[in-house]
A and B are shown apart, each in its own frame.
Chain A
Amino acid sequence: MSKSFGFLKKNDRTIDYDKNDRALFYYLMRVEPSAALCIACGACTATCSSGNFSSLDLHKIMLSIRRGEKVYIAKEITQCVLCGKCQLVCPKNVNTRGIIFQIMSFLQSSQL
């Protein structure tokens, strides 16, 4: 077999605001507006019990809410064990645990 040049099909990594769906963001703005306060400082991610052993990254989830990246959130959020350590360290006093509950209930009731 001849050696390949390494051409690959690449997935588009662009966050496309003309196609994404910000429904979850607007839902949270109604039921848990502290979600908008996240400054992505990463304290939650650093302390996360689950994150030590999994790909769970809460500050990325918070950003993805605003960016309308629902598929990523749905995949990651199930790894949370709801220990609440993220809420203890959050400097903006974001109700992280409440937000995770709301995300779960939103995802259950909406079609992905």
Chain B
Amino acid sequence: MNSDVLVIGGGIAGIEAATNLYLLGYSVTLVEQESELGGHVAQWNKLFPNYKNAHQIIQTLLQQLPGDITILRSTKIIHLSEKDRLFSVNLSNNSTITTKTILIATGYDLFDARLKEEYGYKIYDNVITSAELESLLRQNKPILTKQGKEPSRIGFVHCVGSRDRKINNLYCSKVCCVTAVKQAIEIRQKLPFCEAYCFYMDLRMYGLNFEELYNESQEKYGVTFIRGRLSEASETIDGKLILKVEDTLLGRPLKMTIDMLVLMVGMVPSKGTNFLIKELGLHINNGHFIASNDEHLRANHTNKHGIFVAGSASSPKTIDDTLADARSAAMAIHQFFKNSKL
């Protein structure tokens, strides 16, 4: 099987890039290890900052995806090799693809919250991750503690797995701050008698309408923000959690018993991204994600000729940034082909 471009990863970056590459006239093969396309976004419910349905985004992207693109679902990359500027890629279905270029869109995995042991994930009953809360919201399931009670107080911990030298993740994951604001509002809407507290180091409301959402969460929904990093959580005999935090704006210690703790987990390079970094000898940025050849001018190029990157495989990104990056990668590959024909 031959193609101009092999897109690895069928999340939103892979889908958007494949569509645009096809529209530019290239033969495209899209490989996805899961049985369905859509990646992480297919797991989300409502999106910040405007509560658009995540399902709608996936549906629209899939509708735009041309039928002539070869899509290989439930397929993994086993081995890649290069000869005379052509890549030969062995797949888990025992076939081999020969391709001129490769676009890596293998994205991220969620940070494993167990590494921040002091927060008690998988140790205490009522500590969950933001992804687990999102899943409850998506399935419209009742928000209950493990003991089956409706919580009267929920805490959100920002920067779990991000901006933390102790776990060697120095970068900001970009989406967690505003996701906490969004989820705190959703909790207040769903459970009007439940108080919501956010524990933050600083809030990064950089995107369009993020600050507005943050203001709304306070003014309309009474979400309380406390500047201070959770130092330790401990469990009471009835499954509640006692938090110890320094309220750094008042310079005083703070103690609070809550019913449920939500950890805002950040992004780390996915297993697939790490596999390709090793297999292809790609350079990495700040010790983690795939490095761009030039952050400003050649953001979608890697250090290897003919290998490109799109989406959160190169750094944590929002959905909007990922889609823009995917289109930009398609143009970078287009330029590559135009230049090599000269």
Contact = CB atoms under 8 A, between A and B. Distances in A.
A34 to B, nearest CB: 6
Interface string A29-41: 1000110110010
A18 B249 CA distance: 20
A4 to B, nearest CB: 27
A29 B222 contact: yes
A36 B250 contact: no
Contact of B257 (A18, A60, A67): A18
Contact of A36 (B222, B249, B252, B254): B222
A15 B222 contact: no
Given A63-B249, A63-B250, A34 B219 contact: yes
A70 B29 CA distance: 65
B281 interface: no
A18 B218 CA distance: 21
B250 A60 contact: yes
Max count, chain A CB within 10 A of own CB: residue among B215, B250, B254, B257: B250
Please report whether the interface of chain B is mostly helix, strand, loop or mixed according to DSSP: strand
Contact of B224 (A13, A16, A34, A66): A66
A14 B250 CA distance: 11
Given A15-B247, A17-B257, A67-B247, A37 B252 contact: no
Interface in B31-83: none
Nearest to B245: A15
A87 interface: no
Interface in B214-228: 215, 218-220, 222, 224, 227
Contacts, number: 48
Interface in A18-53: 18, 25-26, 29, 33-34, 36-37, 40
Please report whether the interface of chain A is mostly helix, strand, loop or mixed according to DSSP: helix
A14 B249 contact: no
Given A15-B255, A16-B255, A17-B257, A67 B250 contact: yes
Interface of B: 215, 218-220, 222, 224, 227, 247, 249-250, 252-257
Interface of A: 13-18, 25-26, 29, 33-34, 36-37, 40, 60, 63-64, 66-67, 92
Given A14-B252, A18-B257, 13 more contacts: A13-B252, A14-B253, A14-B254, A15-B247, A15-B254, A15-B255, A16-B254, A17-B254, A25-B224, A33-B219, A36-B222, A36-B224, A37-B218
22 contacts: A14-B253, A15-B247, A15-B250, A15-B252, A16-B254, A16-B255, A17-B254, A17-B255, A17-B256, A17-B257, A18-B256, A25-B222, A29-B222, A33-B220, A36-B224, A37-B219, A40-B227, A63-B247, A63-B249, A63-B250, A67-B247, A92-B215
